[in-house]
Structure 1
């Protein structure tokens, strides 16, 4: 195999669900997807217990559950499927990882919250926040690198960018500002952790993604 061919196969592919399964290396990719999604929920719960601010979408989730008798994890699942409905006019195609993301992250978050208490000291709370943000970056790299498709919120971002012609950075910033503002109006939890997450998650995921991207067994390089 040439170096160019190996590099192409290691790039992130945009495949449909059947093609994702036919791309091989399932013994590596499926466990990696599962670990990434579970870790994503764990990292979300760690930031909640740190009580120093949440990721932008979780500001919305935390505000929503102040008015509706459901758990944070259930709100994550609910909003995931609401966002997936927005994929329809954008003509985004969900993958196996998209649906798994919509279900597993919220369940994992609720399970972790049931086991993890909020510490009293500032040192422990800051540690929970920092470890949670770093773990979220790793979780993002793991589930995306497994090559089973984007999560609901990531797909909304890429779909809007494709349909509007705007940059991914601008679309992501606009979406996150919008959900934070809506979350604040609902009484969601905003804090220093929200700023830390916004600044750190992109660089962390970009750093870790090459380590976690699985080379696919394709008959030809993905377009």
Structure 2
């Protein structure tokens, strides 16, 4: 079967194009998280934790996302000696800012069919956003950097690191009162497929190196 042509030929992008693609991807990523959060059926493990923290501190979910990203970056850079790029810092700052800016713009649907439609739109958009931000090739996100650093230093499989980290984060978020729900399970089952589609749209299939991607696009 002939493979579909990528949406954008990444090797032809000038530097300004890389940054434009990165910014577009990060905006879409923040929007996707806000769509899922406002849908009210559950969110990703990291956002269960982020929202859980807001139950106890006078901060927004975007601020918690930025704070946790900076802490992870500090650990991976200073302890694991993992390199990072400008895209890493922009990832930390912009996704949280976009989530907060869109808090009152994105609807809070009340009917379950609409809630799930909005949630699934968020999952789909997250995959496209991942393809864009990874395709820019300007640095992994802080959570990706953590997994890559642990893999490089200790030799643990990336898939196991991802699972362990997200289980711990999810449990911590639940204990803090974060919004775990059926959507959290749906996210776990669907996000891999969504990201795979997004990567392929930008010509980043499994046979090609995925620049800036560890195990989770955030």
| Bucket of the pairwise TM-score, normalised by the shorter protein | 0.7 to 0.9
Residues 10 and 135 in structure 2, CA contact (< 8 A), matched pair in contact too? no
Looking at structure 2, the residues matched to 120 and 24 of structure 1 have their Cα atoms a distance apart, in angstroms, of 43
SS at match of 1:148: coil
Deviates more, 1:97-106 or 1:191-200: 191-200
1:72 lines up with 2:39 in the alignment: no
Identify the residue that residue 26 of structure 1 maps to in structure 2: 15
Identify the residue that residue 164 of structure 2 maps to in structure 1: 174
1:54-105 CA deviation, whole Å, 9 max, x = no partner?
A: 1111010010010000111111111110111111211111101100000000
Structure 1 residue ranges without an equivalent (≥5): 1-8, 12-22, 215-221
1:33-52 CA deviation, whole Å, 9 max, x = no partner?
A: 00100111101110111111
Looking at structure 2, the residues matched to 205 and 167 of structure 1 have their Cα atoms a distance apart, in angstroms, of 19
Which residue of the other structure, out of 188, 192, 200, is the alignment partner of 1:210? 200
Residues 76 and 106 in structure 1, CA contact (< 8 A), matched pair in contact too? yes
Q: Could you say which structure has the larger radius of gyration?
A: 1
Looking at structure 2, the residues matched to 133 and 119 of structure 1 have their Cα atoms a distance apart, in angstroms, of 16
1:112 lines up with 2:102 in the alignment: yes
By how many angstroms is 1:24 displaced?
Answer: 6.3
Residues 25 and 128 in structure 2, CA contact (< 8 A), matched pair in contact too? yes
Residues 50 and 125 in structure 1, CA contact (< 8 A), matched pair in contact too? yes
Identify the residue that residue 85 of structure 1 maps to in structure 2: 74
Residues 146 and 212 in structure 1, CA contact (< 8 A), matched pair in contact too? no
Q: Which has the higher helix share?
A: 1
1:162-217 CA deviation, whole Å, 9 max, x = no partner?
A: 21211111000000000000111111110111111112222221232132258xxx
Identify the residue that residue 186 of structure 1 maps to in structure 2: 176
By how many angstroms is 1:53 displaced?
Answer: 0.6
> If the length of structure 1 is used for normalisation, what is the TM-score?
0.83
Which residue of the other structure, out of 86, 91, 94, is the alignment partner of 1:101? 91
Aligned pair count reads 196
Identify the residue that residue 24 of structure 2 maps to in structure 1: 35
Which residue of the other structure, out of 197, 208, 213, is the alignment partner of 2:187? 197
Looking at structure 2, the residues matched to 108 and 203 of structure 1 have their Cα atoms a distance apart, in angstroms, of 24
Structure 2 residue ranges without an equivalent (≥5): 1-8, 205-210, 212-218
Looking at structure 2, the residues matched to 43 and 207 of structure 1 have their Cα atoms a distance apart, in angstroms, of 15
Looking at structure 2, the residues matched to 128 and 170 of structure 1 have their Cα atoms a distance apart, in angstroms, of 30
Distance 1:24 1:123, change over 3 A: closer
Looking at structure 2, the residues matched to 24 and 200 of structure 1 have their Cα atoms a distance apart, in angstroms, of 30
Identify the residue that residue 215 of structure 2 maps to in structure 1: none
Looking at structure 2, the residues matched to 149 and 142 of structure 1 have their Cα atoms a distance apart, in angstroms, of 12
Identify the residue that residue 46 of structure 1 maps to in structure 2: 35
SS at match of 1:115: coil
RMSD of aligned residue pairs (Cα, Å):
2.0
